Structure 1
Amino acid sequence: MEGAGQGTGTVVVVGSINVDEVAEVERIPRPGETVLATASRRNVGGKGANQAVAARIVADDVAFIGRVGSDAHGDFLRRGLRDHGVDVEMLGAVDGCESGAAHITVADGDNTIVVVGGANRAWDRLDDSEAARVGAAAVVVCQLEIPPTVVDDAAAHTRGRFVLNAAPAGPVSAPTLRRCDPVIVNQHELAVLTGAEVDDVASVTDAATALRARGALSVVATLGANGAVWVTDDGSGHIPAPTVRVVDSTGAGDLFVGILAARLATGTPMDDAVTDAVAAASMSVGAVGTIDSYPARGDL
Structure 2
Amino acid sequence: MTDHQPDGTSPPPPQVIVVGRANIDITVRIPRRPQPGRTTFASAPATTTAGGKSLNQARAAAGAGARTTLVANAGTDEWGTFLRRALTDAGVDVSHFQLIPSAPTGVAIVEVTPDAENHIVLALSPATELTADQVRDALRRLHAPTVLTQLDLPPDAVDAVIQHHRAETLIGNLVPHAALGSAVLAALDLFVCNEHEAAAILGRHHADPTIAAQELCGLGPRVAVVTAGARGAAYSTAEHIKLVPAPHVHAIDTTGAGDQFLGTLAARLAQNTPLGHAVADAVSAATAVVRA
Normalized against structure 2, the TM-score is what?
Answer: 0.88
Q: Secondary structure at the match of 1:87?
A: coil
Deviation sequence 1:166-220 (CA, Å, 0-9, x none) = 25885745663223221001111111112233112xxx32332222222111100
Structure 1 residues 272 and 126: alpha-carbon distance in aligned structure 2, compared to 1, 3 A threshold: farther
Instruction: Kindly state the Cα deviation for residue 165 of structure 1 after the two structures are TM-superposed.
Output: 1.0
Partner of 2:207: 199
Partner of 1:187: 195
Write the distance in 1 (CA, Å) between the matches of 2:194 and 2:66: 27
Structure 1 residues 48 and 229: alpha-carbon distance in aligned structure 2, compared to 1, 3 A threshold: same
Task: Confirm or deny that 1:153 pairs with 2:160.
Answer: yes
Task: Confirm or deny that 1:32 pairs with 2:37.
Answer: yes
Task: Confirm or deny that 1:107 pairs with 2:113.
Answer: yes
Partner of 1:138: 145
Q: Size of the alignment, in residue pairs?
A: 277
Asked if 2 retains the 8 angstrom alpha-carbon contact of 1:126 and 1:154, the reply is no
Partner of 1:233: 238
Gaps of 5+ in 1: 1-6, 288-300
* One-letter identity of the residue aligned with 1:28: R
Q: Structure 1 residue aligned with 2:291, among 283, 286, 289? A: 286
Q: Structure 1 residue aligned with 2:214, among 209, 225, 229? A: 209
Q: Secondary structure at the match of 2:46?
A: strand
Structure 1 residues 245 and 237: alpha-carbon distance in aligned structure 2, compared to 1, 3 A threshold: same
Structure 1 residues 133 and 262: alpha-carbon distance in aligned structure 2, compared to 1, 3 A threshold: farther
What percent identity do the matched residue pairs reach? Answer: 36
Write the distance in 2 (CA, Å) between the matches of 1:66 and 1:14: 6
1:270-285 to 2 correspondences below 5 Å: 270-285=275-290
Structure scoring higher RCO (CA < 8 A, sep ≥ 6) equals: 1
Task: Confirm or deny that 1:92 pairs with 2:98.
Answer: yes
Q: Structure 2 residue aligned with 1:80, among 83, 86, 102? A: 86
Task: Confirm or deny that 1:70 pairs with 2:76.
Answer: yes
Asked if 1 retains the 8 angstrom alpha-carbon contact of 2:260 and 2:282, the reply is yes
Deviation sequence 1:28-64 (CA, Å, 0-9, x none) = 2223321222221111000000000000111331000
Q: Over aligned residue pairs, what C-alpha RMSD do you find?
A: 2.1
Structure 1 residues 179 and 66: alpha-carbon distance in aligned structure 2, compared to 1, 3 A threshold: same
Q: Secondary structure at the match of 1:196?
A: coil
Asked if 2 retains the 8 angstrom alpha-carbon contact of 1:8 and 1:138, the reply is no
Deviation sequence 1:44-103 (CA, Å, 0-9, x none) = 000000000000111331000001112111111111111110001111122232111101
Partner of 1:290: none
Partner of 2:15: 10
Q: Structure 1 residue aligned with 2:268, among 260, 263, 269? A: 263
Normalized against structure 1, the TM-score is what?
Answer: 0.86
